[in-house]
């Protein structure tokens, strides 16, 4: 029986051009070999399974190759290359720093470095997982690393660059390796499938690539596992079942129902997902990624960021056309907040179901309680026209010279209209010729002037129809709603507003939570603050927006907010420090050395 070799070893690159996803690094190394500008030490950094050790081995083989190609690749035919590939080369030494991390191990390495190579140009030392060396071992290695023999080259690899001492980093050429893209992994898996004569669906390989999270070695390991399970035929359904991956169709179905506002069907789909053994947070994370992909599919510029197969890509493009961008923004925010608070929730299933209900409610139009009838557009225009005329004239106009405006020009009052195209007699008893125009006689109840303030303050005008024929419409001002409310409702809306401000203005949000409102009477509320500075800041930056919110939410436009400062007790000041200067004075009283510190370093307040 022939020994099986895993794909990660069998298809390990032996040339720079075969390395996947690290073109910048490999090209830099090839140029250094061609120009003979080799550094004395290299440090390869990056996540697992992306080719750090592989590139180190290719570099070690190439610089000892007897006949390198003009492109900087090894020939793989000379004695040095063959010895390396057969693991019998005496010029290349591989050391595992995880098990050789003491000072004694580094001393043995330093003694070995003193022996020059018997064949070839360089002695290459590949140290893997170099971050596992102890600090004492690093310090013992510093001198040799900085001034090695001319024939010694060090190539170190690590997955945790932050653990390497800065003194080591400064003595190396550092190369940061990238995670390998999904498309590159899929292409390599397709190549391996063709070589092994395995039938694999592109969607199945795409799922494997996404599961590998940028590590080609992990992708090849998963590929071997699935081939053993499936019997040389990889299908999409078999892969998602074996890897416990949630099918894309579930996300497309649930998003379609959420767009229609069908919360019932969405909850049933979520229940089906749970019954198949999937974790609720796993579903929540997948739904967030689904909304993100839909947002990416909205624009052709960001379409390359959609790392899925061709069939699934078409599904995303089709559903993205139905999803408004605003809906996706809000849905993403809801999923993000639910994901953050998932672990702290006692009823985690209800937590996810509540998130689905919130997303489903985004497409429903909120009911507008106590809708007030708006005036016709022409009535508004005529009203503003009349106001403009009176403002320009600023003087009363004689009745004889005053032309009667068409219906609805006055804000209040009533006109008796004469539609006859005959001679008419004015108030002074003078006969006027027929002009075909409409004239009206103003009733005695009509005021002679109109308040510009009343016309411009935003009061809603409601037009009512007169029953008698020939009478004009009467404009009646309807008062704004002033519904009564309880302290409990006021407190609830107050806290909701504080929650809204927690991101935009966290300082004010904290102040709102501390200082709760009190009801003086049905229309007047008040809060008590510690000092005048906080009061002024509150009135200038928060009060207008807060009052608009409370009036709308409480449906009461007559409420007033009174801000008071806490009174001193016992003749002494009880005001808490608020500004930076006040805080400094407060702390300096407890520790006088702060004044000396401020004076010595010439400090000032921001």
Q: Is the pLDDT of residue 330 over 90?
A: yes
Same domain, 325 and 446: no
What pLDDT score was predicted for residue 599?
A: 80
Q: What is the mean pLDDT of the chain?
A: 79
Going by C-beta distance under 8 Å and a sequence separation of 6 or more, which residues neighbour residue 80?
61, 64, 65, 66, 89, 91, 119, 120
Q: At what angle do helices 348-360 and 325-340 cross, to 10 degrees?
A: 170
What pLDDT score was predicted for residue 2?
A: 60
Residue 572 lies in a domain: no
- CATH code: domain of residue 73: 3.40.50.300
Same domain, 222 and 136: no
Q: Is the pLDDT of residue 574 over 90?
A: no
Same domain, 343 and 258: yes
Residue 549 lies in a domain: yes
| Model confidence band, residue 575 (pLDDT cutoffs 50, 70, 90) | low
Same domain, 30 and 148: yes
Weakest mean pLDDT among 45-59, 107-121, 428-442 = 428-442
Same domain, 80 and 186: no
Same domain, 230 and 298: no
Going by C-beta distance under 8 Å and a sequence separation of 6 or more, which residues neighbour residue 69?
75
Q: What is the number of other CB atoms lying within 10 angstroms of the CB of residue 161?
A: 15
Residue 29 domain boundaries: 7-176
| Model confidence band, residue 439 (pLDDT cutoffs 50, 70, 90) | very low
- In contact, 516 and 525? CB cutoff 8 Å: no
Same domain, 161 and 198: no
What pLDDT score was predicted for residue 578?
A: 58
459 backbone φψ class: left, alpha, beta (φ>0; ψ -120 to 50): beta
Q: pTM, whole model, 2 decimals?
A: 0.57
Same domain, 465 and 530: no
What pLDDT score was predicted for residue 605?
A: 66
Rounded to whole angstroms, the Cα distance separating 175 from 336 reads 34
Rounded to whole angstroms, the Cα distance separating 363 from 346 reads 29
What pLDDT score was predicted for residue 243?
A: 87
In this predicted model, which residue has the larger pLDDT, 364 or 27?
27
Residue 191 lies in a domain: yes
Taking alpha carbons only, the member of 36, 53, 37, 40 closest to residue 143 is 40
In this predicted model, which residue has the larger pLDDT, 208 or 387?
208
Residue 602 lies in a domain: no
- CATH code: domain of residue 504: 3.30.300
What pLDDT score was predicted for residue 387?
A: 43
Burial pattern 416-438, b for ≥16 Cβ within 10 A else e, equals ebeeeeeebeeeeeeeeeeeeeb
In this prediction, residues 459-470 reach a mean pLDDT of 41
- In contact, 106 and 141? CB cutoff 8 Å: yes
Same domain, 333 and 470: no
For the chain, what percent of residues have pLDDT higher than 70? 78
User: Hey, is 527 helix, strand or coil?
Assistant: strand
State which of 207, 223, 242 marks the end of a domain. Answer: 242
In this prediction, residues 214-220 reach a mean pLDDT of 92
Angle value at C-alpha 523, between 522 and 528, nearest 5 degrees: 100
Residue 600 lies in a domain: no
Residue 592 lies in a domain: no
What pLDDT score was predicted for residue 176?
A: 94
Residue 330 lies in a domain: yes
Same domain, 335 and 237: no
DSSP character at residue 401: G
User: Hey, is 441 helix, strand or coil?
Assistant: strand
Same domain, 51 and 68: yes
Going by C-beta distance under 8 Å and a sequence separation of 6 or more, which residues neighbour residue 247?
240
Q: What is the number of other CB atoms lying within 10 angstroms of the CB of residue 346?
A: 6
Side by side, the strands of the sheet bearing 524-529 are: 518-519, 524-529, 560-565
Same domain, 132 and 277: no
Weakest mean pLDDT among 54-63, 144-153, 326-335, 386-395 = 386-395
- CATH code: domain of residue 299: 1.20.272.10
Residue 400 lies in a domain: no
Total domains in the fold of the chain: 5
Q: Is the pLDDT of residue 389 over 60?
A: no
In 34-139, at which residue ranges do the beta strands (DSSP E only) sit? 41-45, 92-96, 123-128
Q: Is the pLDDT of residue 441 over 80?
A: no
């Amino acid at each position: 029986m022939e020994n099986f070799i895993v794909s990660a070893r069998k298809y390990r690159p032996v040339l720079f051009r075969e390395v996947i996803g690290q073109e910048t690094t490999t090209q830099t190394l090839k140029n250094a070999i061609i120009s003979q500008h080799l550094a004395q030490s290299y440090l390869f950094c990056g996540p697992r399974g992306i080719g750090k050790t592989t590139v180190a081995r290719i570099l070690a083989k190439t610089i000892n190759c007897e006949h390198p190609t003009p492109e900087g690749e090894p020939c793989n035919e000379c004695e040095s290359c063959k010895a390396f590939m057969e693991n019998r080369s005496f010029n290349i030494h591989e050391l595992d720093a995880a098990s050789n991390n003491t000072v004694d191990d580094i001393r043995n390495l330093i003694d070995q470095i003193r022996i020059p190579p018997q064949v070839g140009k360089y002695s290459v030392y590949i140290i893997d997982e170099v971050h596992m060396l102890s600090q004492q071992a690093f310090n013992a290695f510093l001198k040799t690393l900085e001034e090695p023999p001319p024939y010694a080259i060090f190539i170190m690899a690590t997955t945790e660059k932050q653990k390497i001492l800065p003194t080591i980093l400064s003595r190396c050429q550092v190369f940061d390796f990238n995670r390998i893209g999904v498309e590159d992994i899929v292409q390599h898996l397709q190549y391996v499938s063709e070589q092994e004569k395995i039938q694999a669906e592109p969607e199945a390989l795409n799922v494997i690539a996404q599961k590998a999270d940028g590590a080609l070695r992990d992708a090849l390991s998963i590929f071997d596992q699935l081939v053993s399970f499936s019997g040389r035929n990889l299908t999409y359904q078999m892969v998602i079942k074996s890897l416990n991956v949630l099918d894309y169709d579930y996300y497309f179905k649930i998003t379609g129902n959420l767009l229609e506002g069908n919360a019932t069907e969405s909850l049933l789909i979520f229940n089906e997902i749970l019954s198949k053994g999937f974790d609720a947070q796993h579903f929540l994370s997948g739904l967030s990624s689904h909304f993100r992909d839909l947002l990416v599919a909205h624009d052709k510029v960001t379409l390359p960021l959609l790392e899925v197969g061709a069939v699934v890509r078409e599904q995303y493009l089709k559903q993205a056309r139905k999803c408004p961008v605003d809906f996706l923004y809000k849905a993403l925010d809801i999923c993000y907040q639910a994901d953050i608070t998932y672990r702290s929730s006692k009823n985690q299933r209800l937590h996810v179901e509540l998130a689905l209900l919130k997303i489903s409610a985004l497409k429903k139009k909120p009911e507008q309680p106590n809708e007030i009838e708006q005036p016709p557009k022409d009535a508004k225009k005529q009203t503003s026209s009349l106001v403009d005329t009176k403002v320009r004239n600023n003087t009363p106009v004689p009745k004889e010279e005053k032309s009667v405006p068409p219906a609805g020009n006055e804000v209040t009052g009533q006109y008796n209209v004469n539609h006859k195209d005959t001679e008419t007699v004015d108030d002074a008893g003078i006969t006027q010729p027929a002009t075909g125009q409409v004239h009206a006689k103003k009733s005695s109840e009509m005021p002679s002037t109109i308040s510009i303030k009343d016309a411009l303050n935003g009061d809603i005008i409601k037009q009512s129809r007169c029953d008698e024929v020939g009478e004009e419409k009467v404009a009646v001002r309807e008062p704004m709603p002033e519904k009564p409310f309880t302290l409990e409702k006021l407190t609830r809306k107050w806290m909701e507003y504080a929650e809204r401000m927690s991101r935009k203005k966290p300082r004010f949000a904290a102040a709102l939570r501390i200082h709760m409102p009190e009801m003086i009477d049905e229309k007047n509320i008040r809060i008590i603050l510690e000092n005048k500075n906080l009061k002024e800041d509150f009135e200038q930056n928060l009060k207008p927006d807060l009052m608009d919110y409370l009036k709308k939410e409480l449906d009461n436009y007559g409420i007033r907010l009174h801000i008071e400062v806490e009174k001193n007790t016992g003749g002494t000041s009880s005001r808490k420090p608020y500004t930076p200067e006040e805080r400094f004075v407060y702390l300096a009283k407890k520790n006088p050395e702060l004044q000396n510190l401020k004076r010595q370093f010439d400090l000032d307040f921001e």
